[in-house]
């Protein structure tokens, strides 16, 4: 009699789902990596990265965000997340690089404008911060308007 062989992707996907539900991060990375190798998608890479970030596994999070960018390099939110990871590790040059990349992908991306302005403000680059805030205000950001009152005066 012929036995039905389970589809390897289905089995791995089921094990990955169980690991996610039980929040076993090591197993999520293990099964998620295997699933990603068989069926690479930005959604999967970003999901694993976000879970790793949420439990402060920043190195793993960075790896999966970078895998996501290999599939689609035009993801400003992923660049922002990589900037946050770099900032956590004190890598300020990398933080700025990722935020600038996000802005180059989508020049009117409000979260990027606000985060890069905040970063510049923290670094004492008030002119750069003010320029970004004014751009965000021009696009209708109430949050940027509040920040601009403090930074640009």
- Rounded to an integer, the average pLDDT of 127-148 is 94
125 C-beta neighbours (distance < 10 Å), count: 16
What is the predicted pLDDT for the residue at 6?
54
Of 147 and 27, the structure prediction assigns the larger pLDDT to 147
36 touches 67 (CB < 8 A): yes
Model pLDDT for residues 22-55, shown as the tens digit of each residue:
767 788 788 888 888 888 999 999 988 998 898 8
Model pLDDT for residues 88-127, shown as the tens digit of each residue:
999 999 999 999 999 999 999 999 999 999 999 999 999 9
Among the listed residues 93, 112, 101, 51, the one whose alpha carbon sits nearest the alpha carbon of residue 74? 101
Of 133 and 5, the structure prediction assigns the larger pLDDT to 133
Helix (H) or strand (E) holding 16: helix 8-21
> Residues of the chain with pLDDT > 70: what percent?
93
Residues in Cβ contact with 53 at an 8 Å cutoff, skipping those fewer than 6 apart: 61, 81, 84, 85
68 has a pLDDT exceeding 80: yes
């Amino acid at each position: 009699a012929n036995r039905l062989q389970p589809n390897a992707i289905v089995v791995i996907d089921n094990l990955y789902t169980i690991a996610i539900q039980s929040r076993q991060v090591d197993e999520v990375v293990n099964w998620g990596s295997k699933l990603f190798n068989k069926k690479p998608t930005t959604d999967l890479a970003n999901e694993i990265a976000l879970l790793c970030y949420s439990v402060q596994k920043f190195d793993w999070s960075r790896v999966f965000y970078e895998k996501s960018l290999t599939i689609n390099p035009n993801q400003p939110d992923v660049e922002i997340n990589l900037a946050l990871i770099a900032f956590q590790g004190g890598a300020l040059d990398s933080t700025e690089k990722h935020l600038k990349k996000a802005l180059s992908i989508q020049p009117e991306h409000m979260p990027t404008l606000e985060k890069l302005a905040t970063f510049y403000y923290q670094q004492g680059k008030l002119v750069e911060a003010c320029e970004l805030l004014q751009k965000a205000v021009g696009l209708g950001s109430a949050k940027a308007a509040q920040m601009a009152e403090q930074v640009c005066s």
